[in-house]
Chains A and B, each alone.
Chain A
Amino acid sequence: MKRIATAVAAVMLLSACGGDPLSGGGNNNNPAPTDTVVVGSANFPESTVLAEIYAQALAAKGIKVSKKLNIGNRELYFKGVQDGSIDLIPEYTGVLLKYVNKEAPEVGPDEVYTALKKSLPQGLTVLDKSAAEDKDAVVVTKQIAAQYSLKTIEDLSPYCKDLVFGGPPEFQNRPDGLPGLKAKYNCEFKQFKALDVGGPVTVAGLKDNAVQAADLFTTDAAIKANEFVVLDDPKNVFAAQNVVPLINEKKASQQIRDTLNAISKKLDTKVLLDLNQKLASPDKPEPEKVAKEWLASAGI
């Protein structure tokens, strides 16, 4: 009997070591008390560093913040925004608009923003947009661009059927993905390879010629580092994509709005390029640190 008691105690000790289930903060995925703002991010580094910036700025103002970073793509995390698991997440106007309204025709930054505000489901809203823009783009290597004399996606369209395209799996379905390229440029690729979300795998895929064209983000440091060529998009398959905070209206207190709007004022495309450059630097700093440094330098 004594041995059984010892064993039970040991087992309980082991499970108790699992941590306090009520500890807030950090990526522990437990329901946080209701006055906490849960900040989420998508599954790519730029989204994470933006989320860190929002979170740290709010925390500095004394607001209770809990982070759930690196969740997945919008198809996955948007459910979390809708069911209240996530209160705040950095978003991009154009893509988000196309997500909530597939047929949305707007392309310019202001029209997209206005249309977005109108199209979001009840209970969700976006705050002020920033000048910072990060668009999806069709990217090719310098060699391919030279080989086919490519400057725009239009130049690429006659060759699409012989080429392999790489991008995140969702690119196959999104209206501003393969279907958009087909509709506006009559470009249908020979094959689509599901790689990652504009990350190292996609970059490697381009370099190794596993894919001849790929979906990368315009602020990706790898584009300059590898001398990739971003093809112009005259027919605007990719609408304006300004960084904007998507927030649960119930949690959007005036203080939070002011803090986040102040950040949006300071964000521009150059800042995004800079942040991505830092994240990709050889010593691979953590997004938390990069965000902290930027907030300090921006005087927030």
Chain B
Amino acid sequence: MTWIFENWDRFWEVTEVHLRLSAVPVLIGFVLSIPLGWLASRSATARAILFPVANILFTIPSIALIVITPVLIGAKILDEINVIVPLVIYTIALMVRSVADALASVPGHVTAAANAMGYRPLRRFLTVDFPLALPVTIAGLRVATVSNISMVSVGALVGLGGYGQLFTEGYQTDNSAKVFAGLIGTVVLAVLADGLLLLLGRVLTPWARTGR
């Protein structure tokens, strides 16, 4: 803990990078997983393809994906995109199932009523289906976020920033205080992000709060 106080500038700098490297993939991955999840909720064929692919993608070790990315997308080895692309892929792999399950769980009679009231498909999706699917979606988003925050550290093995830098440097210099500082940072960040999303979910779904 004292390491954090004694090296506050460095700690904060590392936190900023870690936050950016986790938040950006979660946002991009989430947005991209919505159409895919929607497809999977509508079509059994889509489900049969997307779910197994998602499962397999998630088992590819993050370090391997992070190192291969620059070769695949022709980026320079130290570009942040080399961590962002793999994390987007992992987020999509995690979220596709969540979004699909969430949309599939929207009660049929509600969507039928909306259709009967004359809602056009897009408006219905945005104002009826999606909000009702939020609780399950956010549950998935929380897992994806915590998972991302943990995985960003792997980027340090190829020189990218974030708390992982504290892990590798601490390892090289036999400095457990530094590693511990990075661990605390990661856990606190994860707990805060998780809590924020939980709160967001509560705020966005007032109807779920009644009648506990």
Contact = CB atoms under 8 A, between A and B. Distances in A.
A28 interface: yes
Interface in B163-184: 165, 168-169, 171-175, 177-178
A199 interface: yes
A107 B171 CA distance: 33
B203 A44 contact: no
Interface in A6-24: 6-7, 10-11, 14-15, 17-19, 21
A70 B169 contact: yes
Interface stretch (A90-98, A141-149, A159-167, A279-287): A279-287
A15 B177 contact: no
Contacts, number: 115
B27 interface: yes
A255 interface: no
B165 A80 contact: no
Contact of B161 (A6, A27, A85, A286): A27
Contacts of A197: 172
A217 interface: no
B13 A80 contact: no
A129 interface: no
A37 interface: no
Contacts of A3: 203-204, 206
Interface residues of B, number: 37
B169 A200 contact: no
Given A80-B78, A86-B78, A15 B172 contact: no
Interface stretch (B16-24, B92-100, B103-111): B16-24
B159 interface: yes
Given A27-B161, A85-B78, A70 B200 contact: no
B200 A17 contact: no
A300 to B, nearest CB: 23
A79 B171 CA distance: 24
A72 interface: yes
Nearest to A279: B173
Given A14-B23, A85-B78, A68 B159 contact: yes
Contact of B158 (A48, A72, A196): A72
A180 interface: no
A3 B204 CA distance: 6
A87 to B, nearest CB: 12
Interface in B1-33: 7, 10, 13-14, 16-17, 19-20, 23-24, 27
Interface of B: 7, 10, 13-14, 16-17, 19-20, 23-24, 27, 76-80, 156-161, 165, 168-169, 171-175, 177-178, 196, 200, 203-204, 206
3 pairs of A and B residues whose beta carbons are closest in the complex: A71-B159, A18-B20, A19-B16
